Amino acid sequence: FMVGGGILTHGLPPVHHLFEDWASYTTVVPTFGHLLQGVVPALLNVAFGLVAGGVVLATVSALGAVRARFKA
């Protein structure tokens, strides 16, 4: 999901830049800020990939159900 989410966000520049901006805000966290700056984009890409995968799964499932209804 992380790779797919990363591919999708790189294809959507506003989303990619939003995630990078959110990651830059983590630098204010004492001690772990710079570590978080590297981890946050990956976690956001995972979340984006999970949501996108869920949307695709729901769409394919719904289309399969409609198709099965008309096929019977």
Residue 1 pLDDT: 64
- pLDDT tens by residue, 14-58: 999 999 999 999 989 998 988 999 899 999 999 999 999 999 999
Alpha helices in 12-32 (DSSP H): 13-24
**At 71, which amino acid appears?**
K
Closest CA to 5 of 59, 39, 50: 50
Predicted TM-score (pTM) of the model is 0.83
